[in-house]
Amino acid sequence: MSRQRFLLKFSWRNLGRHPIRTLIMALGLAFGTGYIIFALNFSASASQEIIADFLAQYFGNHQVVAPGYYPDIDKKKFDQNYTLSDDQVATLSPETYVRRVTLPIFLSGPRKTLGTLLTGLSPTQELRLSKVSKALSQGRFLSEDGVNEILLGEKLARKLGVKLGEEVAIFGQALDGSVANDIFHIVGLMNFGGGDMEENLAFTSIHSARTLAVIPENRFHQLISFGTFNDAPPPAPPGTEVVSWKTILPEIYGSMNFIDIFTWIVAVIIVVVISLGMGNTLMITFLEREKEFYSLNVIGARSSWIALALGLEVIMLGVLGIGTGIIIGNLVTSFFHVVPISLKLFTGGKDIMMGGMAIIPRVRLWHHHQYSWQAPLLVFFFLTLSLIFPIQRIIQRSRRAD
């Protein structure tokens, strides 16, 4: 029998000498690995679901605008004098884009006058691509041929002192320098969960917004994409600029990255704790077998051979436990892909507020296949580290019999 085959048989036999202990260590590795794979998949899937739901309500995953529309310093500010023409974006597919006109205005009601942002929408396209209409709580959505129809947030309507069916006065500055003013009829109220969006936004048709601001029919401010949120933005057509949601909403992008990094930190802490427990158990197991190691030394086995045999035992244990953990982690992920998790379980039944909107996503877990090898490698690396001290001690003790 070759040396390698003998080592493998010897190491495998030793795993069966204490089956309960071996089973406990293997289960510890399996559940630890499985939990890490599940947690990483959950974190990544939750980030995707929350961001996708949030962006679909208003912002989109990227915007095509004229250079200078967003100042370089602050993407929350814009200059309404920078517009695009239909000809400039003719190469972009209309299937995933909507045109918008955005105007800073003052709304006047019986109670007070407030500044807000008026967004001119293409109603048919918005109904097909975005979720703006999902926030409608009273009345109806904008009609394509409606004139001077407006949607207000419930919070904004309360502050203005107006109700559904009443009128508000709008005034601001048109693009030609004249005063833009008109009377708009309230056809619907929006509920964004009571956040800032309910106070800072009002919606009308793009035709009414163009008429108010004296903008030609073939011009607009923003071309909004509602494709997959992590899709790479397309090359900007000549004379335009493509701005990702990550640039427009850096604080939300940073929060999502922090959650992903924090999940990895927790995963590393779990692996370290498991490794420390494994190292302690291995030390006890090896010390219990000191007489066996002395006997092997007496019949000619060197310390290096003993260390190699012990290392093979732990590698076999690791392959068994970590392999089972990969199966567990992927099975749990598959289950929660079929049965989505409501994030209200983690918020005490409350909605999540993000960017002034209430987000109530049900997280459907997706397999992120890189975690099926990254997590096992992480566990195996720290398991290998946990071997160093116990084997070192055994080698030192066994040398007495050399």
Same domain, 93 and 166: yes
**What's the pLDDT score for residue 282?**
72
Out of 53-67, 76-90, 218-232, 323-337, give the one with best mean pLDDT. Answer: 323-337
Same domain, 264 and 382: yes
Same domain, 324 and 224: no
> Which tops the pLDDT comparison, 49 or 171?
171
Same domain, 391 and 350: yes
Same domain, 243 and 265: no
Same domain, 106 and 218: yes
Question: Does the pLDDT at position 401 exceed 80?
Answer: no
> Residue 7 is part of which domain span?
3-55+253-401
Domain stop point among 212, 228, 247: 247
Q: Average per-residue pLDDT in the chain?
A: 81
Which residues touch 343 (CB under 8 Å, ≥6 apart)?
A: 46, 50, 352, 360, 361, 362, 363
> Which tops the pLDDT comparison, 247 or 300?
247
Same domain, 66 and 197: yes
- Tens of pLDDT along 180-206? 899 999 999 988 776 777 888 899 999
Domain total of the chain: 2
Type of residue found at 373 = W
Domain stop point among 218, 247, 276: 247
- Tens of pLDDT along 42-93? 888 888 877 877 787 888 888 999 998 888 766 668 888 899 999 998 888 7
Same domain, 290 and 202: no
pTM of the model: 0.73
Same domain, 318 and 335: yes
Which of the four pLDDT bands, split at 50, 70 and 90, describes residue 159?
A: very high
Same domain, 156 and 21: no
**What's the pLDDT score for residue 294?**
60
* Cβ neighbours of 110 (radius 10 Å): 9
Which percentage of the chain shows pLDDT scores above 90?
A: 25
**What's the pLDDT score for residue 208?**
94
Which percentage of the chain shows pLDDT scores above 70?
A: 79
Which of the four pLDDT bands, split at 50, 70 and 90, describes residue 328?
A: very high
Under 8 Å between Cβ of 219 and 85: yes
- Tens of pLDDT along 112-126? 999 999 999 999 998
Question: Does the pLDDT at position 174 exceed 80?
Answer: yes
- Tens of pLDDT along 352-373? 655 555 666 677 888 888 989 9
Distances 50 to 341, 352, 361 between C-alpha atoms, Å: 12, 9, 6
Domain stop point among 247, 264, 281: 247
| 2-8 mean pLDDT | 58
**What's the pLDDT score for residue 253?**
81
> Which tops the pLDDT comparison, 338 or 294?
338
Same domain, 217 and 114: yes
Question: Does the pLDDT at position 267 exceed 70?
Answer: yes
Same domain, 158 and 306: no
